[in-house]
Chain A
Amino acid sequence: MEEQKVLTGKAQWLVFKRLMRYLVPHKKMVFLALGLLALTVLGDVLGPMLIKTFIDDYLTPGTFPTGPVAGLALGYLFIQVSNVIISYFQLLKFQEAALKIIQQMRIDVFTKVQNLGMRYFDKTPAGSIVSRVTNDTEAIKEMFVSVLIGFIQSAFLIVGVYIAMFFLNVQLALMTLVLLPLLFGIMYLYRKYSSVFYQDLRERLGQLNAKLSESIQGMGMIQAFGQEQRLQDEFNEINDKHWLAGRRNIKLDGLLLRPAIDIVYAFALILLLSYFGITSFSSTVEVGVIYAFVTYVDRFFEPIGQVMQRLSIFQQAIVAASRVFALLDEEDLAPRQENGLGTIGSGKIEFRNVTFSYDGRNDVLKNISFTAEPGQTVALVGHTGSGKSSIINLLMRFYEFTNGDILIDGKSVKSYSARELRSKMGLVLQDPFLFYGTIDSNIRLHNRSMTDRDVRSAAEFVQADRFIEALPAAYGQAVTERGSTFSSGQRQLVAFARTMATDPKILVLDEATANIDTETEVAIQTSLEKMRRGRTTIAIAHRLSTIQDAELILVLHHGEIVERGTHQQLLLKRGLYHKMYLLQNGIVE
């Protein structure tokens, strides 16, 4: 349950105004829908008028000339039929507009998310970002569809009905104006109390669910410490409070919602009948006019109750919108590239005095300098938290750095265009992430220019073709969420193929052999060797055996390079690398 922010009236108004700005691009459709709405209201108002004419001019005197009566009947039917058709399209257009608006908002939020830096993803749970993109926007849609449209409809209807009433009888219409402040008064009171009571109910429900979910998760502890009774008591207390809040809302609804609207309706009827009754004492009253007024008043009350009941949706939508806007205004953006025209040729990588910190306080990299010549492999080893991954994060431009520089072919990594960088550098992650789709779509990704042949040869290159072709649907084999039907080794092979398909100049391997089953390990090792050939490679490796042939091995500890050299050189040093080597081979001295 997410915490509900309490917004001030002014903040709510600002959020609402910003929401309304989303209507602008769809103003044509919105105006069309409003026009149709006006037409339906016109029909709603004209219908009783025709019946009124019929009652007064023909029914009361008891004469039925065929022509005019048939005309009225046809007119009435025409209005009914066209109203049905128009109101159908009007309802549809409004919903369409709302859906399009929400789609735009979703795309905006999603685009924003794509442009955020990894730092934002570190501090924000994925679930809450997903919530912003989908659930919150859905709440806003509800507001557009059920509150806003209902509201506009009521407003139009009230105006239309009043115009008709004024047309029929100015005096009585003026008198019925007294209904407006009454209704608005009830609405105001209801909104005032329901925003408090309803909010309270929601908060209690939130507490209730939080307590329940926590208790279920911590049930082992509760039972181990024999606290079942106490937790039951605590839960009951919250449950009771929620119940009381529920009852309070029922009372409020009973006092101010339908029953209250209905009593105002009865009051309106009394007002009408008294007026006509008293008028009839001194002059004649046309029955048709009474009929029309009674019908109008009835129409008029119909939508008001609905709108009031939906006010809470409005409140929730504003809160949801404020969360969506907060994400849209987020400033933790991905590092920017200078969009230079330079291209990466030989793939020489140089770190020059790079110092870096995630939080601005604790340096995770301290003065890192090294050079990977074109085609060479540089391996990074060290304990968890030693800074290996940070080096890769900076090289891949996942995080912005300010101290020192990273050069590729002698030029700062920041100077290349994002496109150049992404197309020339290939990263293979420890946890090979597969997308929902097929094997083919996972190798190709969204690259449309890639032919089937390219996909196949990439798979062959990393020797993934054997297991892929053994699948029932081969390259068309479905990949479920996160590729859970494949072994981690198979997933890694697909990830290799995906990287090779782009034929990068620089290869970055983030513990690519960490979680591999023994079956595929051999295949993976040979593919890795092939992949590295002719490419500058930066590799993090848990298993030292996989990087023994690296031209340079950097041993990191607490963000510093403490040892560097080739495998043989480092072993001779009998330092940290040597100990790690012994540990991994299970050799006890």
Chain B
Amino acid sequence: MRVFLELGWFFKERKKQYGIGVLMLLAVAFLGVLPPRIIGFVVDEISRGSLTPGFLMKWLGLLGAAAAAMYVLRYAWRQMIFGSSVLLARNLRKQLFDHLTRMSPAFYQKRRVGDLMAHATNDLQAVQQTAGPGVLTLVDSFATGGFVIAAMALTINWKLTLIVLLPMPLMAFLTNYYGKLLHERFHKAQESFSGLNDKTQESISGMKVIKTFGQEQEDIEDFQRLSGKVVEENIRVARVDSLFDPTISAIIGICYFLTIGFGSYFVTRGDMTIGDLVAFTAYLGLLVWPMLAFGWLFNIVERGRASYDRIRSLLAEPVDIDDREKALDERPEGNIVVSIEKFGFPEDERAALRDVHFMLKRGETLGIAGKTGSGKSAILRLLLREFEGYDGEITFGSVPIQDYKKQRLREAIGYVPQDHFLFSTTIAGNIAFAKPDAAMEEVVQAAKLAHIHEDILNFADGYNTVVGERGVSLSGGQKQRISIARALMMQPELLILDDSLSAVDAKTEEAILASLKQTRTGETTIITSHRLSAIQHAHQILVMHEGSIAEIGTHEALLERKGRYYEMYQLQQLEALVEQGGEA
């Protein structure tokens, strides 16, 4: 029940809705007591033969009025309480999303997408259940139960009430016990189901092996066996699950039997009337629901608490990269100086970078070469302030990058990542991602610079073609070029191409590089690449090796050194030849 306290801030925020809603629930519970009582009165009059039209009209009118009022109240409290619970879900979801946009890549490295999604779906759902149906069952099971028992004891016969209620705790006990049994069996059934799921997944992934060994039939038999196990486990669940209804009706049956038996005794003794007896049996029917609701309440609350804890701990994750106090609110420009003694990615003891020092003059192009894991991307990610906590300093226009507002720093950088991520929207929407209100001409201009314009025109809907899972599938090269156009849209002070020409053929690569050179005369560019052709025209080339700079210089100077760069260059020439089929 602690979760109700933990959600107290929300109940306070919506105290009008919850206050009125709970009052309405109480009113409904109270009005619900009327119909059986009215039945009792009318039956008494009928059995005595003293019923008058006026009496009948009066009580039936009251019954009708109560029913109408209950309808209105039932509708209204749903709006108040359930309405508030969906509002809670909406607000928490918004908070979660806002929080997620502030988290750094280090956070996303340790959390899986599915896990984060689970917070926003299942956990929010459970919290919503607590704030809606949870509140309902809490109020209702006590209010309805209390009112009905009070009506039975006070208006009819307290002795009969006591006798008849005796088996009721047994119902609560048994359903609770079944619930526990069910929980354990259900868990096993879920396990066997997920086993079946894994089996299917495995068979599909290993389809080639199965076909190779001609084991289709045997695999089907195996599946049959597992699916049989699912049936078995589920029947075990059904064996308990099927107990609920008969148990409830058995206990209600006993209660009825006691009512009629002892009730008749009281009637013949003149302690109560036949009408009272009929009313009493009707009340009995009203007691079933609060008893069951009481059991559910624990379930809902238990899940709600666990889920709310998870959501709160996610929201409590600190934002690790934030603006400093008095951060500069201007777009950085100028020379870039990188001077890093040592840097390691979080939760990785090895140093990703060691002794990396270089200066990049404004307007120049820097090429970075090296194998995967040599530290190329690490440099870029530090420049983008995706990670912090290194020994050393990076300055942009003589100011440490941490002193700029994050937003302003990133505005100045056009970043084209290795793993090009496109959003499921139109191509134009993807290119204008950083500038959603840009004119179409601007988008086309960027696409032309990235040499993707012609490709786009060939799609059925041109720039309005939707990409992503449900849209057209693009080749790797096309995706890369759209990513480049997206970065160019910002007219960035610093353009970063992180191995983003790898899937583009040699000719297109050359054309893109040439147009970049033409249009970006005053601005700075960094290109990392496996393929040296992409960086050989840079003003300065770094060759990275195991996190350090192995060689530095221009293409010509590096060739002359006959070191790593030279070797890489020669092998790539040969590789290009092989790719083309051996004929140069």
Query: A residues within 8 Å of B by Cβ?
Result: 3, 47, 51, 54-55, 58-60, 62, 64, 73, 76-77, 80-81, 83-85, 87-88, 91-92, 95-96, 99-100, 103, 106-107, 110-111, 113-115, 118, 121, 126, 129-130, 133-134, 138, 208-210, 212-228, 230-232, 235-236, 239-240, 242-243, 246-247, 250-251, 253-255, 258-260, 262-263, 266-267, 269-270, 273-274, 276-278, 280-281, 284-285, 287, 290-291, 294-295, 298, 334, 383, 396, 398, 418-419, 421-423, 425-427, 429, 433, 435-436, 445-447, 481-482, 498, 502, 557-558, 562, 575-576, 579-580, 582-583, 586, 588
* Residues of chain A contacted by B411 (CB below 8 angstroms): 226
Q: A103-B231, A219-B103, A222-B101 are in contact. Are A259 and B71 (CB under 8 A)?
A: yes
Known: A250-B82, A575-B582. 9 other contacts (CB 8 A): A103-B231, A214-B424, A216-B108, A225-B490, A226-B407, A262-B74, A266-B70, A398-B211, A481-B202
Could you say which of A87, A133, A242, A281 contacts B246, with CB atoms under 8 Å apart? Answer: A87
Interface residue SS majority, chain B: helix
Q: In the assembly, what is the distance between CA of A588 and CA of B97, in Å?
A: 54
Q: Which residues of B lie under 8 Å from residue A77 when comparing CB positions?
A: 257
A227 to B429, CA, bound (A): 13
The answer to whether A254 and B74 have CB atoms under 8 Å apart is yes
Residue of B51, B224, B413, B421 touching A280 (CB-CB under 8 A) = B51
Q: Is the CB of B46 within 8 A of A220?
A: no
Contact between B105 and A220, CB atoms less than 8 A apart: yes
Given A47-B253, A210-B424, A383-B579, A254 contacting B79 (CB threshold 8 A)? yes
How close is B490's CB to chain A, nearest CB, in angstroms?
A: 7
Judging by beta carbons under 8 Å apart, are A436 and B220 in contact? no
Question: Which residues of chain B come closer than 8 Å to A58, judged between CB atoms?
Answer: 264
Q: Which of B54-81 contact A (CB under 8 A)?
A: 56, 59-60, 63-64, 66-68, 70-71, 74-76, 78-79
Residues of A within 8 Å of B102, CB to CB, are 228
> Is A418 within 8 A of B214, CB to CB?
yes
B221 pairs with A243, CB closer than 8 A: no
* Pairwise interchain contact A95-B238, C-beta atoms closer than 8 A: yes
Query: Is B410 among interface residues, defined by CB-CB distance under 8 A?
Result: yes
Contacts of A134 in B (CB 8 A): 193, 196-197, 200
Tell me if B208 and A433 are in contact (CB < 8 A).
Answer: yes
- Cβ of B571 under 8 Å from chain A: yes
Known A-B contacts A216-B116, A270-B60, A588-B570; the reply to A576 vs B423 at CB < 8 A is no
Question: From B50, which residue of chain A is reached at the shortest CB distance?
Answer: A280
Going nearest first, the 3 A-B pairs with the smallest beta carbon separation are: A422-B214, A446-B218, A266-B67
29 A-B pairs (CB sep. < 8 Å): A47-B253, A80-B253, A91-B245, A95-B241, A110-B227, A111-B220, A114-B219, A121-B204, A129-B200, A130-B200, A208-B93, A214-B423, A220-B386, A228-B101, A262-B71, A263-B67, A263-B68, A266-B35, A269-B35, A274-B60, A277-B53, A277-B56, A396-B211, A427-B212, A433-B205, A445-B215, A575-B582, A576-B578, A579-B577
Within B233-274, the residues touching A (CB, 8 Å) are: 234-235, 238-239, 241-243, 245-247, 249-250, 253-254, 256-257, 260-261, 264, 267-268, 274
Set of chain A residues within 8 Å of B210, measured between Cβ atoms: 114
Q: Is the CB of B212 within 8 A of A396?
A: yes
The reply to whether the CB of B417 lies closer than 8 angstroms to some CB of chain A is: yes
In-complex Cβ contact of A290 among B121, B254, B278 (8 A): B278
CB-nearest residue of chain B to A80: B253
Cα distance A126–B206 when bound, in Å?
11
Determine whether the beta carbon of A579 is less than 8 Å from that of B238.
no
Stretch at the interface among B3-11, B83-91, B141-149: B83-91
Within 8 A of A (CB), among B91-134: 93-94, 97-98, 100-103, 105, 108, 113, 116-117, 120-121
Contact with A along B343-354 (1 / 0, CB 8 A): 000000000000
Residues on B with beta carbons closer than 8 Å to the beta carbon of A273? 38-39, 42, 56, 59-60, 63
A422 CA to B215 CA, complexed, in Å? 9
Residue B434 CB within 8 A of the other chain: yes
Q: Are A59 and B267 in contact, CB atoms less than 8 angstroms apart?
A: yes
Residues of the B chain whose Cβ atoms lie less than 8 Å from the Cβ of A228: 101-102
Contact B218 A87 (CB under 8 A): no
Distance of B388 from chain A, by nearest CB (Å): 14
Question: A502–B209 Cα gap in the complex (Å)?
Answer: 13
Report the separation of the CA atoms of residues A430 and B120 in the bound assembly, to the nearest whole angstrom. Answer: 39
Q: Are A100 and B113 in contact (CB under 8 A)?
A: no
B30 at interface (Cβ–Cβ under 8 A)?
no
Question: In whole angstroms, how far apart are the Cα atoms of A213 and B117 in the complex?
Answer: 7
User: Given A213-B117, A269-B39 in contact, is the A62-B74 Cβ separation under 8 Å?
Assistant: no
What is the 8 Å Cβ interface bit string for chain B, positions 552-584, against chain A (1 contact, 0 not)? 000000000000000100110011011101100
Task: State in angstroms the CA–CA spacing of A281 and B241 once bound together.
Answer: 49
For the complex, would chain A's binding face be called helix, strand, loop or mixed by DSSP majority?
A: helix
Q: Which residues of A contact B384 (CB under 8 A)?
A: 224
Q: Which residues of A contact B433 (CB under 8 A)?
A: 221, 225, 227
Chain B, interface size: which category?
Answer: 35 or more
Across the interface, do A436 and B202 meet the contact criterion of CB distance under 8 Å? yes
Distance in angstroms between the alpha carbons of A114 and B275 in the assembled complex: 69
Q: Does B222 contact A (CB under 8 A)?
A: yes
Assembled-state Cα–Cα distance A353/B42 (Å): 97
CB distance from A129 to the nearest CB of B (A): 5
Cβ–Cβ contact A225 & B410, under 8 A: yes
**A59 — which chain B residues lie within 8 A by C-beta?**
264, 267-268, 274, 277
A273 vs B61: C-alpha distance in the bound complex, in angstroms? 11
**B391 contacts A by Cβ under 8 Å:** no
Interface residue B306 (Cβ < 8 Å from any Cβ of A): no
Our pick among B78, B93, B245, B282 for the contact of A298 (Cβ within 8 Å) is B282
Q: How far is A433 from B71 in the complex, measured between Cα atoms in Å?
A: 62
Q: Do A294 and B278 touch across chains, with their CB atoms under 8 A apart? A: yes
CB-nearest residue of chain A relative to B210?
A114
CB neighbours of A278 from chain B (8 A):
56
In the complex the two chains form, is A259's CB within 8 Å of B94's CB? Answer: no
Which residues of chain A are near B239, meaning CB under 8 Å?
A: 92
Which of A85, A294, A419 counts the most chain B CB atoms within 10 A? A294
Inter-chain contact A84/B246, CB cutoff 8 Å: yes
Most chain A C-beta atoms within 10 Å of own C-beta, residue among B94, B202, B247, B577 = B202
A58 and B263 CA atoms in complex are apart in Å by 13
A110 partner residues in chain B, CB cutoff 8 A: 200, 203, 220, 223, 227
Say yes or no: B97 contacts A235, CB within 8 Å.
Answer: yes
A284 to B45, CA, bound (A): 11
User: In the complex, what's the smallest C-beta–C-beta distance from B406 to chain A, in angstroms?
Assistant: 8
Closest beta carbon of chain B to A527's beta carbon, Å: 18
Measured between beta carbons, the chain A residues less than 8 angstroms from B46 are 276-277, 280, 285, 287, 290
* Given A91-B242, A95-B242, A287-B274: A398 touches B219 (CB 8 Å cut-off): no
Question: Once the chains bind, are A263 and B82 in contact (CB under 8 Å)?
Answer: no
User: B490 touching A96 by the CB < 8 A rule?
Assistant: no
Using CB atoms, name the residue of chain A closest to B125: A205
Bound together, the chains give a CA A287 to CA B207 distance in angstroms of: 72
CB contacts (< 8 Å) of A231 on chain B: these are 101
**Across the interface, do B213 and A106 meet the contact criterion of CB distance under 8 Å?**
no
- The distance in angstroms between the C-alpha atoms of A576 and B282, with both chains bound, is 93
Flag if A294 contacts B216 (CB, 8 Å): no
Question: What's the Cα separation between A426 and B386 when bound, in Å?
Answer: 49
Q: Which residues of B contact A445 (CB under 8 A)?
A: 213, 215, 218
Q: Does B230 make an interface contact (CB < 8 A)?
A: yes
Chain A residues closer than 8 Å to B249, beta-carbon distance: 80, 83-84, 87
Say which residue of A80, A426, A583 sits within 8 Å of B212 (CB atoms).
Answer: A426
Nearest-CB residue, chain B, relative to A426 = B212
* Shortest Cβ gap from A70 to chain B (Å): 11
**Is the Cβ of B211 less than 8 Å from the Cβ of A334?**
yes
B242–A62 CB distance below 8 A: no
Of all chain B residues, the one with the shortest Cβ separation from A99 is B231
With a cutoff of 8 Å between Cβ atoms, the chain B residues found around residue A277 in the complex are 42, 45-46, 51, 53, 56, 60
Contact of B235 among A96, A121, A239, A396 (CB under 8 A): A96
Q: Which residue of B47, B197, B468, B582 is within 8 Å of A287 (Cβ)? A: B47
Interface string of B506-548 (1 = CB under 8 A from A): 0000000000000000000000000000000000000000000
